[in-house]
A = this chain, B = another copy of it.
Amino acid sequence: MNATSLLTDAPNFEAILAAHKRISPHIHRTPVLTSTSLDEIAGARLFFKCENLQKTGSFKIRGATNAIFSLTDQEARQGVVAPSSGNHAAAMALAARWRGIPAFIVMPSNSSAAKVKAVEFYGGKITYCEPHMASREATCAEVMRNTGAHLVHPYDDARVIAGQGTAALELLEEVSDLDVLVTPASGGGLLSGSAIAAKNMRPGIRAIGGEPSNADDAYRSLKAGKIEPAAKSETMADGLRATLSPLTFSILKSLVDEISLVTEEEIVAAMLLLWERTKLVVEPSGAVAAAPALNRKIRAEGKKIGIILSGGNLDLHKLPF
């Protein structure tokens, strides 16, 4: 199944409800935390959905579990393939273990030792590729040919998007009168699923994506009305280097109100504030969703803002502060 064919399968709110039922026995219902001192800084009331406390340390386990447990026994038998060097890789390895099938992870040869270790810890079988898109796709195709395994893309997949939307579903179940919801933008899986859940549960809510200025392709794509290529510059938010897919672009175009850009300095400052005040280990990509509110970059004075802290995986020996 290639990317564009999934457009016809765009996920809806019912798919998110079904995903939630499917994955709830496996995942954590993560807490929603608040901080009076961060509220003062933001001039608004912030509700943090703590996906850094989720199994495997990020929301990615939601989409991976939904995709893997949606497979028929026949489809699942040969295992699954995931191209990812990050949180999706670890999530796929663990969800596949729960289902009792192999997970073939295609990772760039320059992946960090910590990421390789995490995938191996959860039992994933790694095939290395060259660190560029062409090699990744070719290697994925080869692994699929050799194993007969089923591809689960990190975000260009309706089942994954429906799974990622369950974090916003839980957040709005708990805080039903949110005015704004912010998630990282990145490839758009979490943002798409979150926007679908939020706009169905609370029609007037504003759905906002946080994005590093140094990786502003979602911002440019929504401005231009077509998918724009990735920026060349580097961001410390290494989970957010992906570009939109046709599926996520189409959902974002119709449901997302704003992409809010944040500088590298704002990401570090947000991260430090989160660690200091909420006592949570949040990765730079997670801080990207909090940075717009903490820097008062979105019009939301006195409002209730839901923020999905997407993950907490990073090298504690190489902190940016």
- Bound together, the chains give a CA A36 to CA B312 distance in angstroms of 16
A280 in contact (CB, < 8 A) = yes
Partner of A321, one of B33, B317, B321: B317
Query: Please, which residues of chain B bring their CB within 8 A of the CB of A279?
Result: 52-53, 57, 280-282, 312
| Shortest Cβ distance from residue A120 to the other chain B in the assembled complex, whole angstroms | 13
Q: Could you say which of A278, A279, A281, A282 has the most chain B C-beta atoms within 10 Å of its C-beta?
A: A279
Query: Please, which residues of chain B bring their CB within 8 A of the CB of A316?
Result: 272, 275-276, 321
A148 in contact (CB, < 8 A) = no
Query: Please, which residues of chain B bring their CB within 8 A of the CB of A36?
Result: 55
Query: Please, which residues of chain B bring their CB within 8 A of the CB of A31?
Result: 31
- Bound together, the chains give a CA A279 to CA B33 distance in angstroms of 14
| Shortest Cβ distance from residue A115 to the other chain B in the assembled complex, whole angstroms | 13
A112 in contact (CB, < 8 A) = no
Nearest B residue to A37 via CB reads B121
- Bound together, the chains give a CA A281 to CA B278 distance in angstroms of 8
- The A128-143 residues at the B interface (CB cut-off 8 A) are none
- The A268-291 residues at the B interface (CB cut-off 8 A) are 272, 275-276, 278-282
How many A residues face the partner with a CB closer than 8 A?
22
- The A13-61 residues at the B interface (CB cut-off 8 A) are 31, 33, 36-37, 52-53, 55, 57
| Shortest Cβ distance from residue A160 to the other chain B in the assembled complex, whole angstroms | 22
Nearest B residue to A55 via CB reads B36
Nearest B residue to A315 via CB reads B276
1/0 contact trace for A151-177 toward B, CB 8 Å?
000000000000000000000000000
Nearest B residue to A52 via CB reads B279
- Bound together, the chains give a CA A86 to CA B275 distance in angstroms of 19
Nearest B residue to A286 via CB reads B279
Interface CB pairs A-B, < 8 A, 21: A31-B31, A33-B53, A36-B55, A52-B279, A53-B278, A53-B279, A57-B279, A272-B316, A275-B281, A276-B281, A276-B316, A279-B280, A279-B281, A279-B282, A279-B312, A280-B280, A280-B281, A281-B281, A316-B321, A317-B321, A319-B319
Binding site for B on A (CB under 8 A): 31, 33, 36-37, 52-53, 55, 57, 121, 272, 275-276, 278-282, 312, 316-317, 319, 321
Known: A279-B312, A280-B281. 17 other contacts (CB 8 A): A33-B53, A36-B55, A37-B121, A52-B279, A53-B278, A53-B280, A57-B279, A272-B316, A275-B281, A276-B316, A279-B280, A279-B281, A280-B280, A281-B281, A316-B321, A317-B321, A319-B319
